[in-house]
Amino acid sequence: MGTMSSEKNITNVFQPVYDRVKELKAFDDTKIGVKGLVDSGAKDLPKIFIRPPDELSEDLKFPSVHRQIPVISFEGIGTKEHYDAIVKEVLYAAENWGFFQVVNHGIPLEVLDKMLQGMRMFHEQDTEAKKEFYSRDMSRQVLYLSNYDLYKSQAANWRDSLAVNISNSGHLDPEELPEICRDVMLDYTDHVLNLGDTLLELLSVALGLRPDRLKEMECSKGWNLVNHYYPACPVPELTLGTSKHSDPSFLTIVLQDQIGGLQVLHENQWVDVEPIPGSFVVNIGDILQMISNDKLKSVYHRVTANHVGPRISVPFFLKGLLSSPKLYRPIEELLSDESPSVYREFTLGEFHTYFYSLPLGQQEFEYFKLQKHGVGE
């Protein structure tokens, strides 16, 4: 018995100890991101990226299926007949899916191609040129990093990101943008903000509100443009490009290339969002669900890792101005005795502080519900 005990102790002594925090910091300190790992010749998946067993087994409960999320054409939007039909389609998609794809939106294909190309150029330039933008300071207007929640997550995601965030200040300083993609980012942003205004108008009308009601609420006054780069992954089954989450925004407008990987959780099934050339993916954000009093749905989505790559994705988040003292709550016109307010008042600053205090993937709706604080029970 003593011999067995000794053998057990010896086994424990020689068993390698996994110091996750140490490995996360070692990865972070390189400032080379996931692409740097791939470029250095890594053939295996580092342990920091491997999802916990319970999360991997949970995937078995939510199978992936091939279904088409709603696709809405904006062709003829200038005529009343087409406009009214588009409003109905937008309402159906926003209430039932939380996601839809937009085609014939009027933004030249050349602008979209140049944006994807510009983002690829940034991520594939010399590592030293990227390092000057590497930071975990979320208050910075421009930053490059891998996994904003690196030290909070259970498993790191297989992606690098360049983010341009004016939701703190409301003003963009073009000189802060990386020179290699500055012009294309500025051009792209102008086009997408115009599309955002159109989408906010359609959603306002769909909710039975004045066309300018959502824009009046300063939904697009602050925004965050993120450029995700997903390298090819050696063992994609064990990790994710982006973990399951919903968006801390009013609205998100996504440009993706043709590789695919974006999935939406719909009726407990992961639905692939098949890329359509020249389209945008649009999804309802958490804040819009809250101010619509749960009429519109912000739903879970994720990005799988791929054997092939790199995949480029450009989400544009309409976030409002985080420094504003403005109080948000469910829109008065949507409330009634039958539909009382579900949420308490909150500022965008409070909302985002709470969101970023959590690991990616934990929805925050409960925290802002009235009954959570013993009100209206």
Confidence of residue 58 (pLDDT cuts 50, 70, 90): confident
Whether the CB-CB separation of 244 and 59 falls below 8 Å is answered with no
Residue 30 belongs to some domain of the structure: no
Confidence of residue 5 (pLDDT cuts 50, 70, 90): very low
pLDDT of residue 17: 65
Enter the tokens of residue 151: 């030290």
Tally of CB atoms within 10 A around 356: 14
Total domains present in the chain = 1
Whether the CB-CB separation of 219 and 204 falls below 8 Å is answered with no
Whether the CB-CB separation of 143 and 176 falls below 8 Å is answered with no
**What's 130's domain CATH number?**
2.60.120.330
More confident residue, 57 or 214: 214
Task: List the single range of 183-192, 229-238, 352-361 with lowest mean pLDDT.
Answer: 352-361
Q: φ, ψ for residue 296 (rounded to 5)?
A: -95, 150
Q: Angle, to 10 degrees, between the axis of helix 182-206 and the axis of helix 109-124?
A: 130
Residue 28 belongs to some domain of the structure: no
Confidence of residue 336 (pLDDT cuts 50, 70, 90): very high
Residue 203 belongs to some domain of the structure: yes
DSSP-derived letter for residue 140 is S
Residue 348 belongs to some domain of the structure: yes
Task: List the single range of 12-21, 23-32, 72-81 with lowest mean pLDDT.
Answer: 12-21
Which residue has tokens 């424990």?
12
How is 288-354 classified by DSSP, letter by letter? Answer: HHHHTTTSS----EEEE--SS--EEEEEEEE---TT----B-S-GGG--SSS---B--B-HHHHHHH
pLDDT of residue 364: 75
pLDDT of residue 376: 42
Residue 226 belongs to some domain of the structure: yes
Residue 352 belongs to some domain of the structure: yes
- What average pLDDT does range 267-292 have in this prediction? 96
Enter the tokens of residue 95: 């209430």
Residue 110 belongs to some domain of the structure: yes
- Domain range holding 211? 49-373
pLDDT of residue 139: 87
Confidence of residue 63 (pLDDT cuts 50, 70, 90): confident
Task: List the single range of 58-62, 129-133, 200-204 with lowest mean pLDDT.
Answer: 58-62
Within the chain, residue ranges assigned H as helices are 2-14, 20-30, 33-39, 53-58, 80-96, 109-124, 127-131, 182-206, 213-216, 286-291, 348-356, 365-368
Mean per-residue pLDDT of the chain: 91
Tens digit of each residue's pLDDT (9 = 90 or more) over 223-233: 999 999 999 99
Residue 6 belongs to some domain of the structure: no
User: Which residue type is seen at 345?
Assistant: E
How is 44-64 classified by DSSP, letter by letter? Answer: S--GGGSPPHHHHHHGGGS-E
